[in-house]
Structure formats: C-alpha cells, structure tokens
Structure 1
Amino acid sequence: MVVDSPTSLGARARMRRWQMFTETFPAIEQAHVLDLGGTVETWRRAPVRPGRVTVLNLFEPGESEDGWIAPVLGDACDAARVLAEAKADTHFDVVFSNSLIEHVGGHARRTELARQVRALAPHFWVQTPYRYFPIEPHWLFPGMQFMPAAARVAVAEHWPLVHTRPRNTEEARREVLWTELVSITEMRDYFPTATILRERIFGLTKSIIATDS
C-alpha cells in the first residue's frame, strides 16, 4: 500500500481528523487560525480552508504568496513575543497544533506551550500521538517509547521503517531525546478546561486531542 495514497490508513486517519476538526469548529471558514508548529504546505493541501492562517514554526514554516496564509519563523513556546516582534496579526479565533507538543523539550516547555495556546485565542485544538499506543508513531517500532535512551537511538539509526533516516548517531540521538510522547493525564494538566478527544485504530487510542471549542 502506498503511504501517501488517499486510500492508505494514514491518509484516511488524517481525513477523519480534519472531519473532527470541522465538526468541532463549524465556522472555521470565517476564522483566523494560528498554527503552532505547522507548515504552509500542510494548509495548502488541507481539505479545510480557514479565513486566514498564521503559521508559526521554528524550522522553516515555508513561503507563501497566498493572501490567506502568513508564515512566521519562531519558537511556539514564546509565540506571543515572536508574533509581536514580527508585527503579525495577533487576533486569533483558534490555536491549532498538530504533533508538536511531544517535541518541544520536556514538561516545563510543554507547560509553557500550553500557556501560550490558552492565552492566544479563545479556542484551541492540540493533537499529539498517545504515549500508550503500542507502536511508537515516529519510528513505527513497537514499544520504542518505553525503551532506554540508548536502545531508542539504535532503533532510530537502524530501523528500516523510520520516516527519515538520520545521517549519523548524533542526529539519531538528538531526534530521540527531543521526542517525548504524552499521556492523557498530562494533557489534562496542560489544558484543564479542555475536552480530550481520542483518535482510535482497531479500538486502541492512537492519538489524543485537547480542544476547547
């Protein structure tokens, strides 16, 4: 099966997630969305088109000549300051974040990211892979998230199903140490007013979404 095929499991899961998003925010076509950690290309390809999207990413959010997408380079955990210094529009209806919170660098940074999310708009949608799904989603290796760091580095460096193979051991170590999957208990602590939605596959929770609509 081709990974990027519209009929692949991954593609169908993404479509279900977009459907959940539009059901949660039925007026999204008129909304201004702040995407923390996303890319311009993601929104160009998305089946959902908000009125406006500001994309803030630490690593090359992309370029856009589209009038409805504005890329900003910067740290999502310091989003308010970054946006102010960029003289970007800071009036948002929804903060959106997909698979970012597990990569920001530990509990303290996740707490700060959540504070930014809650402060920047009245509504939010924060998705992350679920820690206790049996297959680690970034490397597609069973139980990798529960292994010692050295073993995870070895998997990241040599496992054939990895999405993007690291160039060397140092890069594999960096990717492993900057990936820390999150539990439902942690998400409830970061977003105490949120409803926690579950994305399931074969009856198991694959990812979780904190939303306050």
Structure 2
Amino acid sequence: MSFISNLFSPSDNPESLGAKFRNQRQKDFEDLFFLNFSKNDPIRILDVGGAAYFWDNSSLPLLPNIEIVLLNLGQEKTTHPKIKSVVGDATNMPEYKENSFDLVFSNSVIEHLYTWENQQKMANEIMRVGKKHFIQTPNRTFPIEAHYAIPFAQYLPHSLLYFFLTKTKLSRLQKWDPKDAQQYLDEIRLLDQNEMQRLFPDSKMYLEKFMGMIKSISAHNLS
C-alpha cells in the first residue's frame, strides 16, 4: 500500500508520479535554459511561488554567478547561499523594475489565484519584470485533475467534490482536512492551452504529454 500511496501523493514526495513528471519537465527546462545563458553569466532568477526543495536536483544553483529569489506570500525556508526568500505578491510587484530578472520561473502557481483577472495581473507582472520566462500550469482538460488526482474532478460541482475530498479517500487515498479542501476549491482556477496563450501571447507553449494527452502547459520565451 505504501507504494501506491507514494505514487499518488503530492509532487513534493520524490517517490510520487507527480515528482517524476516534474523532474523530466525540469530537465527539459534546463536544456532550454542553457541554450539562452552561459554557465558563467551573472544570472538572476525570480521563482514565483517557489520552494527551495524544487531546486535540490537542479544544476542551476551550482552555477558560479546565479541568484534565485523565491517570492511567496509568506517567508519560505531556505539555507542555500544562492537561494533567498522574499515576501511579495505575484500579481503586483512594484518593488521590481522592468527587466529586473534574467528569468522568471513558476511551477504550478498561476492556477491558484482565484480569478482570471488575477491570472492576467500575474502574467503581466512576469513579462514586465523578467527578460525571459518559463511558466507552468496543469492543463484543465487533462482527465486526471492534478491537485486531487480524481478523474474529471474539475467538472464536478464544488459541493460534490468537497464531499469526495473530506468524506472519502478517493483523493490520493486519504481524506482532506475540511479547511484545506475548501481553500483549494476556492482558489484553484485551472487553465487550458488557449488561455495560457492569451496570458502570454508572444510565448511558445511547451506541452508535457502523457499517453498522447496534454498533462501540463508551460509558456516560455526561451530560444
């Protein structure tokens, strides 16, 4: 049972299916990154909604002249000398001037902003403060909803989904805390490929596929 439980646990579990997808996506991102930046360049990265553990398996923090800034609504713990944490709002970053960062990166964050208006604000700020960007989000039309691991959960009424989350173990073989379940139901607004293209109109779309279906979408302007 532990194998099945690990497989369907959130992606911060290195044994989970989500982590395996994330690791492959991270490799593909780094391949693009090194087409645009030299290993000796001074590079400043803003990771919107990021966590320090995401970079544990990355070669980027090993670069000699890199700084990675984690921006979150609350302070994020980090002990790496090249990774620092700041408190801020991705939809409004007046503390940063235009092109303050060589790259803005974000993984599975833009779908947590409640409304399309907030998602537009975040996209606009990313394109303003960053010269380059790589912004990933789960695909709304993929059959398995990414946050709950329940087939077609994104199409269910919130009241029914809340019942499944809090009263059954359909989601990742465990019951959700009612407060956490309601928070997710309130804040998640999944995006599809067309909406991501509207948010980042001059970007390319990196499409992560599973069994021929688009699992996640990343908007980027890397060469």
TM-score, normalisation: structure 1:
0.86
Q: Which residue does the alignment assign to 2:177?
A: 167
Deviations 1:147-193 (Å, cap 9, x if unpaired)?
1121122222234253585432x442221111111011110110000
Are the aligned partners of 1:95 and 1:124 in contact in 2 as well (CA < 8 Å)?
Answer: yes
Q: Structure 1: 5+ residue runs without aligned partners?
A: 85-89
The count of residues paired between Structure 1 and Structure 2 equals 203
| Cα shift at 1:137 | 0.9
Tell me which of 57, 64, 69 is aligned to 1:46: 57
The whole-number CA distance in structure 2 between the counterparts of 1:5 and 1:211 is: 25
Q: Deviations over 1:109-150 (max 9, x none)?
A: 000000011001110000000000001111111101011121
Q: CA RMSD in A?
A: 2.2
CA distance in 2, matches of 1:63, 1:104: 24
Q: Structure 2 CA distance, aligned partners of 1:155 and 1:48?
A: 40
| Mapped pair 1:37 → 2:49 | yes
- Partner residue, 1:55: 70
Give unpaired runs (5+ residues) of structure 2: 8-12
1:28 CA drift (Å): 6.8
Match of 2:155 in 1: 146
The answer to whether residue 29 in structure 2 is matched with residue 21 in structure 1 is yes
Question: Runs of 4+ in structure 1 displaced over 4 angstroms?
Answer: none
Q: Distance in 2 between matches of 1:47 and 1:28?
A: 16
Q: Secondary structure at the match of 1:24?
A: helix
Q: Which residue of 1 aligns with 2:10?
A: none
Q: Equivalents in 2 of 1:18, 1:181: separation in Å?
A: 21
Q: What is the SS of the residue equivalent to 1:79?
A: coil
TM-score normalised over the length of structure 2:
0.82
The 1:63/1:22 distance shift into structure 2, 3 A limit, reads: closer
Kept after mapping to 2: 8 A contact 1:80/1:116 = no
Deviation, 1:38, is 0.6
What do the CA deviations read for 1:24-59 (whole angstroms, capped 9, x no partner)?
11027442110000112322x132324210000113
* Match of residue 78 from structure 1: 92
